[in-house]
Amino acid sequence: MELIIDAIKEIAHRIDEAIKMEDLGYSDSSNSSGEDQLKLDVQSDLIIERVFAKVSSVKNLVSEEKEGVHHLHDDGRFTVCYDPLDGSSLVDVNLSVGSIFGIYEGELKAENLVASAYVVYGPRIEMVMATREGKPTLYCTRRNHFETVGEITMNEKGKLCAPGGTQKHWAPHHKAFIDGLFNDGYRLRYSGGMVPDLHQILLKGGGLFSYPGTTDKPDGKLRQLFEVIPFALMYEQAGGQAINDKGMRLMELVPSHPHDTSPCFFGSNSEIEALKNAYGV
């Protein structure tokens, strides 16, 4: 696992460099979810593939930007599922973006996630890593090196609300719940990049990030293996909760296809309990 973490640190520096140096335009291809790929999406994917090719404990890679499984090492133990550049459409307006990694052992389902990590490319590079034991660890870069900052613990209740999805397609009970939070004094924090949005809620103690099922996207938008499940581990280990619209822990998801999505809610305990009430689950 140590070597995988070192690989993610190397990847973080390389992708950060690519973001700063490379062409921001579109490639002429689209990914498995039918989204147009930026040249940076494709390049970040390639950076990750090349770095993990040197890590013998990695058996397979599954990328948001590729269909199917990319095989690396016969004797490897882990499959790394990743979103190379999350929020990539925000690069051209110079907002923060990220990379997300889920490290699975065995069949690709939440129960088999052994660790997860994400990187935030903002004014500086930060990384958060979680395993099944203990609190997530925050690392910041100083003079191009990652330094451990400490453990992340969420409060019982927060003040921030990041409501995803197109509002005109929200269900009435979801709209009523989010309106209720704002009426209670919650502050809107939504950049459109799940990495910085979830990172902000984690580091500022709590609140709620939601990406519900909507009339246009009944299963939400965020992908289980590379986006939803890795962050579910982070939130649970930090003392918060992560559930779907049926009240099921996201850490119990079993995707039937690598690119399956799920409605998802991440937050501190108080907001998730209130959400369960509002959804009647």
Residues 252 and 110: beta-carbon distance below 8 Å: yes
Choose among Mn ion, ligand AHG, none what residue 158 binds, the Cβ cut-off being 5 to 8 Å by kind: none
Q: How far is the CB of 100 from Mn ion (least distance, A)?
A: 7
Among residues 68, 106, 150, 192, the one that binds ligand AHG under rule CB under 6 A: 192
From candidates 55, 120, 129, 194, binder to ligand AHG by CB under 6 A: 194
Q: Does 83 bind ligand AHG (CB under 6 A)?
A: yes
- Does residue 83 touch Mn ion according to CB under 5 A? yes
Choose between 77 and 217: whose C-beta lies nearer to ligand AHG.
217
CB 172 within 8 A of CB 155: no
CB nearer to Mn ion: give 170 or 211.
211
User: In the bound complex, which residue of the shown chain has the CB atom lying closest to ligand AHG?
Assistant: 194
Distance CA 55, CA 59 (A): 9
Q: Does 86 bind Mn ion (CB under 5 A)?
A: yes
Q: Least distance to Mn ion from the beta carbon of 76, Å?
A: 24
Terminal alpha carbon distance of the chain? 37
* Subset of 34-53 contacting ligand AHG (CB under 6 A): 35
Q: Does 65 bind ligand AHG (CB under 6 A)?
A: no
- From residue 217, give the alpha-carbon distance in Å to each of 1, 82, 188, 202, 266: 36, 22, 23, 26, 19
Give, as ranges, the residues between 85 and 124 that touch ligand AHG (CB under 6 A).
86-89
250, two tokens: 């996201």
Binding residues for ligand AHG (CB under 6 A): 35, 64, 83, 86-89, 164-165, 192-194, 221
Binding residues for Mn ion (CB under 5 A): 64, 83, 85-86
